[in-house]
Amino acid sequence: MSPDAGGHAALEYWCEASPAQASVTPVAPGLRWLVMPLPMSLNHINLWLLDDTGGTAIVDTGIASEKSREVWRHVFDGPLKGEKITRLIITHAHPDHIGLAGWLAETLGIEVWISKTEWEMGYRMSRDPGPLLEESGMALFTRGGLAPEAIKLAGGRINTRLPVAVLPEHFHRLEDGMTLKVGGRDWRIVVGRGHAPEHCSLWAADGDLFIAGDQVLPKITPNVSLWPSRVEQDPLGAFLASADTIEATVPDSVLVLPSHNLPFHRLHNRLQQLRDHHADRLDEVVEACDTPKTAVELVPVLFKRKLDQRQMGFAMGEALAHLQHAANTGRLTREERGDGGWIFERS
């Protein structure tokens, strides 16, 4: 995820600062906010607790770590003491959102609600991520123009253990446009794409609330990457189309409940900021391709800071996403080298 292109001061924030990590804060009738710590530069994820018939439903989980489990135990022994947990709703299958889904489902005897594509991805990640990481790493770095180093770079990913507990075999399927009744409130599922294949946000007209997940964030832009398993797709095009769909579906008046940073108002303003951000980046990419370029050569154009290996993977994916979209819209041409690397040039 990268810094916002600017202008976020125009948003209206619900509060001035996040509550303390591991705390539970009422936000609206029937909705509470749990701040779960993360062991990375993006040091928290916002989880949401919804009043449900007979108890409380949870939206997203935090990564699979002992620290996350400690926070949940604290919450169950404290703010949620005596409350029955009814179900677990997952926005998408990234580890900070789905990491403890399996543990919570097993510990509490509850079922998971998630889209089919995200469950399939999470299920694979939770069982044997080694081959998945090796395969995706090899393809990512090769396509990006680092074929001679791809084996070494991908090898660093093979031994990475993803912080995702083993998912249960069964789930309840969420689909775009369906209504999910949680307690006395109807939540419409709004699927967004680009950041994840089938990301589920939740909009409640009653209460004017929008649980945005990672699809709309206030101060950073969601990572939009072209991942190797979907090399002919256009994730940036899908992300921009999703922004249009959200704007046409969800009113500007909602309180946006993002997975990172602060709740805010003026959803449509933020969607336009995200469009403007990616338009600027596309212009930068196209201008840089006045001579043939690979994605690895474009990374310094898009990311000015020094990147570690993990960040380099995300940066490479995002560079490829912008290059692919520019090629799909006729602004660039794409050729493949003999070693599998992609070269892009201005049309």
Instruction: Tell me the two tokens of residue 103.
Output: 């543990």
Rounded CA gap, 35 and 25, in Å?
Answer: 9
Instruction: Tell me the two tokens of residue 294.
Output: 């690979």
Identify the pLDDT of residue 126. Answer: 87
Map out the domains of the chain as residue ranges.
Answer: 2-279
Strand boundaries in 193-324, DSSP class E: 199-204, 209-213, 220-221, 255-258, 264-265
| H or E stretch at 150 | helix 150-158
| H or E stretch at 65 | none
Quote helix, strand, coil % in the chain, to nearest 5. 40, 25, 35
Would you say 214 and 94 are in contact if contact means Cβ atoms under 8 Å apart? Answer: yes
Phi then psi for residue 169, to 5 deg, are -70, -25
Cβ neighbours around 246 below 10 Å, total: 22
Identify the pLDDT of residue 233. Answer: 87
- Partner residues linked to 2 by β-bridges: 221
Phi then psi for residue 224, to 5 deg, are -120, 105
Amino acid occupying residue 265: H
Identify the pLDDT of residue 63. Answer: 96
Task: With CA atoms as reference, report the closest residue to 64 among 95, 89, 90.
Answer: 95
Which pTM value belongs to this model?
0.93
Residue linked to tokens 């990491």: 99
Instruction: Tell me the two tokens of residue 79.
Output: 């703010």
Identify the pLDDT of residue 5. Answer: 41
Rounded CA gap, 182 and 254, in Å?
Answer: 18
Identify the pLDDT of residue 159. Answer: 47
Rounded CA gap, 205 and 282, in Å?
Answer: 35
Instruction: Tell me the two tokens of residue 176.
Output: 């775009």
Task: With CA atoms as reference, report the closest residue to 114 among 127, 124, 104, 101.
Answer: 101
Identify the pLDDT of residue 125. Answer: 84
Identify the pLDDT of residue 151. Answer: 57
Q: Strands 220-221 and 2-3: what pairing?
A: antiparallel
Amino acid occupying residue 100: L
Which residues lie below 8 Å from residue 173, measured CB to CB, with a gap of 6+?
113, 114, 115, 116, 119
Rounded CA gap, 175 and 116, in Å?
Answer: 8
Rounded CA gap, 287 and 283, in Å?
Answer: 6
State which residues of the chain have pLDDT below 70: 1-9, 128-135, 148-161, 228-231
Strand boundaries in the chain, DSSP class E: 2-3, 12-13, 24-28, 31-37, 44-52, 55-59, 85-89, 111-114, 172-173, 179-182, 185-192, 199-204, 209-213, 220-221, 255-258, 264-265, 332-336, 342-346
Rounded CA gap, 249 and 215, in Å?
Answer: 14
CATH superfamily of 2-279: Ribonuclease Z/Hydroxyacylglutathione hydrolase-like (3.60.15.10)
Amino acid occupying residue 134: E
